[in-house]
């Protein structure tokens, strides 16, 4: 599950040296990072080379290097948060899709966490009232990619994942399960038709 993160969201790979193990590993097992930071290059480019101290006891230059890397990560994250991200393709949304993006933005329902990153949500009618389910579109996508049919007895497994992100009121598990399964069946049907 965690490995799929970079397929849908922008990821920053931070590597300690020019071998770029973090960037290559992320690309190999998940998706191409949206940005890469190579610490040795960043330090050398800012004249902080030489003795930085040890991992346990940084000297003044080492502390300055840590601040520099943290600042670059924050700057890169800010830049990425300002870019509309195409989660289906795992890359920035192109200008050719501007019309589709505008439509998606008006239709999309996005919950924001404190860091400002968008987490897709879905509003579902449960017993006549509208309930917001966090990450439901991503959960449906994951189950579909794993070939889990709504008719294949996935209710318990699906709801266990749903409950991680959305609390289910006590005594309403059955009605919530019916509503989520109904939505998953519609999602699955639409995916299979395309």
The four Cα atoms 163, 169, 173, 175 give a dihedral, to 10 degrees, of: -120
| 182/54: higher pLDDT | 182
Q: Find the helix packing angle between 155-165 and 136-145, rounded to 10°.
A: 150
Number of independent structural domains in the chain: 2
| Same domain membership, residue 116 and residue 69 | no
| Same domain membership, residue 115 and residue 82 | no
| Same domain membership, residue 64 and residue 28 | yes
Name the residue among 35, 31, 132 with its Cα closest to residue 87. 31
Whole-model pTM over 0.85: no
| 139/10: higher pLDDT | 139
The four Cα atoms 85, 88, 93, 99 give a dihedral, to 10 degrees, of: -120
Confirm whether 160 is domain-assigned. yes
| Same domain membership, residue 172 and residue 135 | yes
| Pairing verdict, β 85-86 and 129-134 | unpaired
Residue 58 has pLDDT above 70, yes or no: yes
| Same domain membership, residue 56 and residue 7 | yes
Which of 38, 71, 86 is the C-terminal boundary of a domain?
Answer: 86
| Same domain membership, residue 52 and residue 17 | yes
- 116 burial (CB, 10 Å; 0-12 / 13-18 / 19+) is exposed
Q: Which domain holds residue 116?
A: 109-193
Mean pLDDT of 147-173: 90
Most distant CA atoms of the chain, gap in Å: 66
| Same domain membership, residue 82 and residue 8 | yes
> Measured between alpha carbons, how far is 181 from 194 in angstroms, rounded to an integer?
20
Confirm whether 92 is domain-assigned. no
Assigned token pair, 54? 């040890």
> Measured between alpha carbons, how far is 169 from 147 in angstroms, rounded to an integer?
29
Please tell me the predicted confidence (pLDDT) of residue 76: 84
| Same domain membership, residue 82 and residue 7 | yes
Confirm whether 97 is domain-assigned. no
> Measured between alpha carbons, how far is 104 from 32 in angstroms, rounded to an integer?
24
Confirm whether 99 is domain-assigned. no
| Same domain membership, residue 19 and residue 63 | yes
């Amino acid at each position: 599950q965690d490995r799929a993160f970079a397929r849908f969201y922008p990821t920053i790979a931070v590597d300690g040296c020019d071998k770029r193990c973090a960037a290559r590993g992320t690309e190999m097992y998940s998706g191409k990072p949206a940005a890469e930071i190579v610490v040795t290059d960043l330090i050398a480019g800012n004249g902080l080379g030489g003795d930085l101290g040890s991992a346990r006891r940084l000297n003044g230059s080492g502390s300055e290097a840590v601040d520099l890397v943290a600042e670059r990560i924050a700057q890169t994250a800010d830049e990425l948060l300002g870019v509309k991200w195409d989660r289906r393709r795992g890359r920035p949304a192109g200008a050719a899709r501007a019309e589709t993006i505008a439509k998606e933005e008006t239709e999309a329902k996005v919950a924001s966490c404190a860091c400002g990153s968008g987490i897709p949500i879905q509003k579902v009618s449960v017993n006549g009232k509208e309930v917001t389910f966090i990450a439901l579109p991503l959960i449906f996508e994951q189950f579909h990619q794993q070939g889990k049919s709504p008719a294949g007895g996935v209710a318990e497994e699906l709801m266990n994942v749903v409950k991680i992100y959305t609390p289910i009121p006590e005594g309403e598990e059955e009605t919530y399960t019916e509503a989520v399964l109904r939505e998953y069946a519609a999602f699955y049907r639409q995916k299979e038709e395309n």
